[in-house]
Amino acid sequence: MTAIQATQWNALTARIAIFPVVPFSDPPSSINLYKAVWGADPDQFFKQPNPLRPSVAQGVIGGVLANCAVLQSRIDFSLGPAPSNSPDDSDLPTIEDTSQVRKELVKIIDSVKSGIITEPVGRVATVVQFIIVASTFSDANRILVAAMPNQYKITLADEEDFIFQVNRAHRVVDNIRMNFLKKWSVERFQIVNVPISIGPGAPPSPTFNVQPVEILAASVTFDNNNMPQLIPIDHENQALLLNRGLSQVAQDQRDFGMNIAGFEP
Helix/strand/coil (H/E/C) assignment for every residue in 42-102: CCEEEECCCCCCCEEEEEEECCEEEEEEECCCCEEEEEEECCCCCCCCCCCCCECCHHHHH
**Would 99 be classed as within a structural domain?**
yes
Q: In the prediction, which pLDDT does 54 show? A: 81
Q: Which of these ranges, 43-47, 112-116, 208-212, has the smallest mean pLDDT?
A: 208-212
Residue 90 lies in a domain: yes
Question: What integer pLDDT is reported at residue 155 of this predicted model?
Answer: 93
Task: State residue 6's pLDDT score.
Answer: 38
In a domain, 147, yes or no: yes
Nearest one of 219, 222, 218 to 252, comparing CA atoms? 222
Residue 128 has what DSSP assignment? E
In a domain, 71, yes or no: yes
Q: Residue 18 is which amino acid? A: I
Q: What is the mean pLDDT of residues 67-77?
A: 95
Predicted TM-score (pTM) of this structure: 0.88
Q: Is the pLDDT of residue 192 over 90?
A: no
The region that residue 63 occupies, defined by phi over 0 for left and psi between -120 and 50 for alpha, beta otherwise, is left
Decide which of 100 and 89 is more confident: 100
Reference 217, options 111, 140, 110, 109; nearest CA is 140
Average pLDDT over residues 180-197: 81
1 part of a folded domain = no
CB atoms inside a 10 Å sphere around CB 5 = 10
- Higher-scoring residue by pLDDT: 262, 31: 31
265 is a domain residue = no
Name which residue leads in pLDDT, 259 or 2. 259
Q: How many domains does the structure of the chain reveal?
A: 1
Q: Considering the domain boundaries, does residue 202 fall inside one?
A: no
pLDDT tens digits, residue range 246-261? 999 999 999 999 999 8
User: Predicted confidence band at 1 (pLDDT cuts at 50, 70, 90)?
Assistant: very low
Give dist(CA 70, CA 151) in Å, integer. Answer: 39
Decide if pLDDT at 210 tops 70: no
**Position with higher pLDDT, 97 vs 194:** 97
Residue 178, domain extent: 8-197+209-255
Q: Give the closest residue to 27 by CA, choosing from 59, 55, 49, 46.
A: 55
In a domain, 260, yes or no: no
In the chain, the percentage of residues whose pLDDT exceeds 90 is: 73
CB proximity list for 61: less than 8 A, separation 6 or greater:
38, 40, 104
